[in-house]
Amino acid sequence: MGSGEFDLIARYFAPLAGSDGPAYGLSDDAAILSPPAGYDLIFTKDALVADVHFFSDDPADLVAQKALRVNLSDLAAMGAKPLGYLLALSLPKNMNEIESWVSDFTAGLKKDQDQFGWSLFGGDTVSTSGPLTLSVTAIGTVTKGTALRRSGAKVGEGIYVSGTLGDGALGLKCLKDNIDSPSLIKRYHLPTPRLTLGQKLFGIASSVLDISDGLAGDIAHICGLSGLGASIESKLIPVSDAAGKILESFPAYNDLIWNGGDDYELLFTAPDHMAEKIKDISASLMLPLTKIGHMTDKLEVVILDDKGKNLLQGQRGFRHF
C-alpha cells in the first residue's frame, strides 16, 4: 500500500489507541501491557472475511462494530471485562475509495470503543489480491481464578440461554431474500455481547459459552467437554416477536432457530438450586434468561418437538469445513 499505509494509520488508527500506554499512539513496534494485579488476562481471536461473515458492500462502520462485538461476546462467555484489542486489516488492491471506507470503518471502531470501554492496542494494515479480511484479537481481564469455562456441566443441570435465538440467522435470510424486517437485520449486523451477564455468572453457572454457530452445534461443545448429553425442548427456545412473524410466513426457516448461528447470546448450565439467583440476574439486567432443557447422561444432543421427535437432522450449526 506504499506510504498511504502509514498515512491511514496515523490519521485513522492512531487516535483509537490514545497517546498513553499500552499503545502510545501506535508509535512503537508493539504495545506494552502490564496485567492488573490480581487479575488473569483473557485472549480471544475471530477473523471475518467479506462475503463469508459479512457482505462486501455492507457499511464499513457496521463491519467494524460486528468484528469487535463477536470478540466481545467471547470475552463475555469467559466472564471477562474488555481491556483492549489488536486489529489486522487486509484491504483488496482493487478497492475503490479506500480512505473513505477506512474513515467509516474507524468511526465504527470508535463508537464501540466508547460504548464498551476499551481501546486499540495495535495491529497491521496490508493489501491483498483476495477479499477484504479482518482479524481481531481481544484482550480482557477477570479476577484471578474466576474465568468461566465450557466444561463442568453435571447431569440434571438446567440449560439456559440469554435473550432470543435465531434473530441473526433470520436477519441474514431477510437480507438474502429481500424480506423486510429491520429489527432482525439489525440483530445480524449488530449483535449484543452479554458482558455484564457473563461477569455475574461466576459461582452460578457450571459451564458457559457464547452461541456463534447455532444452539445445536454449540451445546455439543459443552456436552463433549463434560462427557454428557443434552435434551432441549423446542417449544422453550425463546424467539423474538419479529422472528415469530417471519416463521409464520416461512416455516421452512424454523431450524435456523437452533442451527443458524450469529446469535451471540450466552448458553450456560446451572444446578436447580441456582434458579432463583438466575431469575434475580434476569430481572436486574432486564434480560430474559430462559431454561430450555437439561443435561443428560446419554451422549447425544436432542431437540424435541411436542411429540417427542428429535428435530435435529443432518448438519448441526454453522461449520467452515
pLDDT (tens digit per residue) in 58-101: 999 999 999 999 999 999 999 999 999 999 999 999 998 999 99
Instruction: CATH number of the domain at 61, please.
Output: 3.30.1330.10
Pairing verdict, β 229-233 and 301-304: parallel
Whether 312 is in a domain gets the answer: no
Mean pLDDT across the chain:
94
Whether 101 is in a domain gets the answer: yes
- One domain, residues 113 and 188: no
Pairing verdict, β 133-143 and 81-92: antiparallel
Residue 135 CA: distances (Å) to CA of 24, 35, 44, 321: 21, 23, 11, 19
pLDDT (tens digit per residue) in 16-26: 999 998 999 99
Instruction: CATH number of the domain at 194, please.
Output: 3.90.650.10
Of 6-15, 26-35, 286-295, the range with the highest mean pLDDT is 286-295
By residue range, what is the domain housing residue 116? 3-143
- Three-state DSSP state, 234: helix
Q: What is the pTM of this model?
A: 0.94
Whether 153 is in a domain gets the answer: no
- One domain, residues 107 and 219: no
Peptide bond into 82 cis (omega under 30): no
Whether 10 is in a domain gets the answer: yes
Pairing verdict, β 81-92 and 39-49: unpaired
Of 143, 170, 204, which closes a domain? 143
Task: Count CB atoms within 10 A of the CB of residue 257.
Answer: 25
pLDDT (tens digit per residue) in 221-245: 999 999 999 999 999 999 999 999 9
